[in-house]
Amino acid sequence: MNKAWKARIIAAIQEEAIVGRPRELTAEERRQLISEGYRPVEMWVPDLSDPQLLAKADAEAKRIAKADQDEDILDWIEAVQKDMWEGEDRT
């Protein structure tokens, strides 16, 4: 990709960071990028402004933190693992 195209893409990315939405590429820009082996990709990411999602993530993080502190669970995991792999090295 030549420097002029890179500069245009960088400008579009910087504009997106400021405005929040990228400008659409022109048909010429799309053809140029496709001809250089690039392809468009759409990404879906969690909406961190959604209160339900934040509550769910918070509850999950608290469960994980509690589980890390719970010795009974760790003892159980160690006991199960020992039994699970016992005798596996024998042929």
* Same domain, residue pair 24 and 58: no
pLDDT tens digits, one per residue of 47-85: 888 999 999 999 999 988 887 777 777 788 888 887 676
Query: Distance of CA 10 to CAs 7, 35, 54, Å?
Result: 5, 19, 32
Q: Which residues contact 30 (CB under 8 A, 6 or more apart)?
A: 40
* Same domain, residue pair 90 and 60: yes
pLDDT grade for 86, boundaries at 50, 70 and 90: low
CA atoms within 13 A on the CB side of 47: 5
* Same domain, residue pair 57 and 75: yes
Domain hosting 68: range is 47-91
Number of structural domains the chain divides into: 2
* Same domain, residue pair 39 and 51: no
State residue 35's pLDDT score. 94
* Same domain, residue pair 76 and 36: no
